């Protein structure tokens, strides 16, 4: 029988947000797959029991497991290159190679737990592999994790929506002006490369702006207005944007 590919959400960074279901799935799967963005990892590598520390120490999803004292020393390791590039053809070829390697492992009956930050249904790189596996008749499953914007709202001590308010989850690397014209709460993700443009657009509109940077990680920072946000922010940054509200009196 062929194995199953599990895309496992490990939450945004805080090991305490790793779910019991994620822990159980990782423990039960003999192969642990980790996404690697290091350019030196150009090909998927199935390295039985060998730990490539130079890559793992930079993998945020893997570091969550170590922070939770989850013992994975006996796992077979699968390193999947996930480069930070936009060239569609190169990305397609890379995802094809990763899926092919995953299929070879599943064909010998081994289950794979592939860890991903946050939740695997939200902008997760595992989705590109998942769809290729399903097209070829392999079994897949999603193990939900705490999304970064939910953890950020908790860290900022705010609610994301009330009553009939809408919530929009948006990649800020695209048409920011169009995104800001939507009603309700706008969650802007993938903002690091356009911090200056995003901040300028928000200042013009006079919106209520909150920002979380490295939520749940050691370098965690929260900002409560657009003026507090620095010129440069890390890759793991998101905005929570709302229309100004009148203060409710009791």
Q: At 97, is the pLDDT very low, low, confident or very high (cuts 50, 70, 90)?
A: very high
Give the pLDDT confidence score for residue 200 in this predicted structure.
Answer: 81
pLDDT at 248: 59
pTM: 0.91
Query: Under CATH, to which class is 148-242 assigned?
Result: alpha beta
Is 4-143 a domain of CATH 2.40.10.10? no
Which 3 state secondary structure label does DSSP give 12?
A: coil
Domain locations in the chain as residue ranges: 4-143, 148-242
pLDDT bracket for residue 174 (50, 70, 90): low
Q: What are the structure tokens assigned to 8, written together?
A: 């496992």
Lowest mean pLDDT, pick from 117-121, 128-132, 157-161, 178-182: 178-182
Residue 115 · residue 141 · CB < 8 Å: no
Mean pLDDT computed over 44-56? 81
Cβ-contact 124, 215 below 8 angstroms: no
What is the maximum span of the chain, computed from C-alpha positions, in angstroms?
Answer: 65
The stretch 195-221 carries a mean pLDDT of 86
Structure tokens that stand for 189 in this block: 């993700």
């Amino acid at each position: 029988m062929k194995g199953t590919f599990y895309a496992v959400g490990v939450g945004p960074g805080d090991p305490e947000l790793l779910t019991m279901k994620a822990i159980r799935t990782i423990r039960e799967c003999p192969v642990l797959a980790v996404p690697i963005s290091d350019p030196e990892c150009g090909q998927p590598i199935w390295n039985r029991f060998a730990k490539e520390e130079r890559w793992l120490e930079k993998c945020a999803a893997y570091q969550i497991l170590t922070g939770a004292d989850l013992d994975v020393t006996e796992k077979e390791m699968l390193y999947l290159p996930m480069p930070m590039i936009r060239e569609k053809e190169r990305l397609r070829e890379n995802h094809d190679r990763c899926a092919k390697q995953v299929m070879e492992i599943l064909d010998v009956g081994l289950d794979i737990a592939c860890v991903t930050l946050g939740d695997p249904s939200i902008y997760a790189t595992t989705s590109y592999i998942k769809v290729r596996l399903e097209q070829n008749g392999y079994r897949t499953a999603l193990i939900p994790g705490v999304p970064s914007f939910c953890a950020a709202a908790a860290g900022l001590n705010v609610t994301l929506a009330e009553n009939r308010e809408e919530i929009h989850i948006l990649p800020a690397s695209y048409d920011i002006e169009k995104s800001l014209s939507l009603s309700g709460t706008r969650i802007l993700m993938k903002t690091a490369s356009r911090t200056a443009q995003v901040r300028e657009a928000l200042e013009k509109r006079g919106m209520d702006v909150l920002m979380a940077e490295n939520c749940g990680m050691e370098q965690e920072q929260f900002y409560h207005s657009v003026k507090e946000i620095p010129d440069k922010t890390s890759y793991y940054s998101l905005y929570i944007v709302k229309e100004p509200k009148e203060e409710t009196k009791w």
